[in-house]
Amino acid sequence: MSPFVAEIIGTGILVLLGDGVVANVLLKKSKGENAGWIVITTGWGLAVALAVYAVGWISGAHINPAVTVGLAAIGKFPWADVPGYIAAQMIGAFLGAVLVFLAYLPHWRETEDQGAKLGVFCTAPAIRNVTSNLITEIIGTAMLVLGVLAIGHPNNELGALGALLVGFLVWGIGLSLGGPTGYAINPARDLGPRIAHALLPIPGKGGSDWGYSWIPVVGPIIGGVLGALLFAGLWGA
């Protein structure tokens, strides 16, 4: 399997299970309806861990353009490979979102809340403030990339346990920093499914909130670079 295909599969797994848990909690007549934020953040953490275990040994399981760009910024990934990785991540995220749509097919019509339907696919702020929302995404993604690099440092000698700890890292970010914006911390995870929402025949779906869509793209990219640079500066790696 090529790294390109691995990134498609890994990001697809991430979004299938991540957006899937959101659908389970938000959509009407689902078994997990109203299960709450703990369930959502746990589901996302487990989704990340499984995706990393599935393809980490093939592509490094970036599954996130912010991780790819952050690693390239400190010389740990070739810039020439960045466009291909990001393209694969976007494709995987889109396909994962389509699978979630199919898995919950009868529930879209049962759900009247357009915001809930959109929330299955992508993030939205609790309080809409461009500056604050952008800062939140920068901080969350900086923590993600710094944490990934710290977990993966050779001195930790974690081996296969590292993938599980990356899942815990995402779980912790969601619990601690996810409240203001829904912690996209991944441009592909937000934009790919947002495009799917716009294209899929979801009954009564409403708009895809394109006015906000740039924040979960730009914020994570900035945060990913800052997190990588901070790690490199402090740990000399």
What pLDDT, in 10s, does the model give residues 58-113?
Answer: 999 999 999 999 999 999 999 999 999 999 999 999 999 999 999 999 999 999 99
Please give the tally of structural domains in the chain: 1
Q: Tell the residue number behind the tokens 């529930």, with chain if given.
A: 107
Contact between residue 29 and residue 185 where contact means Cβ atoms under 8 Å apart: no
- Nearest partner of 187 among 96, 66, 33, judged by Cα: 66
User: What pLDDT sits at residue 236?
Assistant: 73
Residues of the chain short of pLDDT 70, as ranges, are: 237
- Helix 187-199 and helix 65-73: axis angle, to 10°? 150
Separation of alpha carbons 14 and 18, rounded Å: 6
Query: What is residue 237's predicted lDDT score, i.e. its pLDDT?
Result: 65
Q: How far apart are CA 167 and CA 70, in angstroms?
A: 19
**Prediction pTM value:** 0.96
Structural domain including 52 reads 3-235
**Region of residue 39 (phi > 0: left; psi between -120 and 50: alpha; otherwise: beta):** alpha
Torsion angle of the four alpha carbons 28, 31, 37, 40, in this order, in degrees rounded to the nearest 10: -100
Q: Please state, as a whole number, how many other Cβ atoms lie within 10 Å of the Cβ of residue 121.
A: 27
Task: Give percent above pLDDT 70 in the chain.
Answer: 100
Whole-number Å distance between alpha carbons of 220 and 213: 12
Give the length of the chain. Answer: 237
Q: In this predicted model, what pLDDT tens digit does every residue of 61-74 receive, in sequence order? A: 999 999 999 999 99
Domain containing residue 216: CATH number: 1.20.1080.10
pLDDT at 160: 86
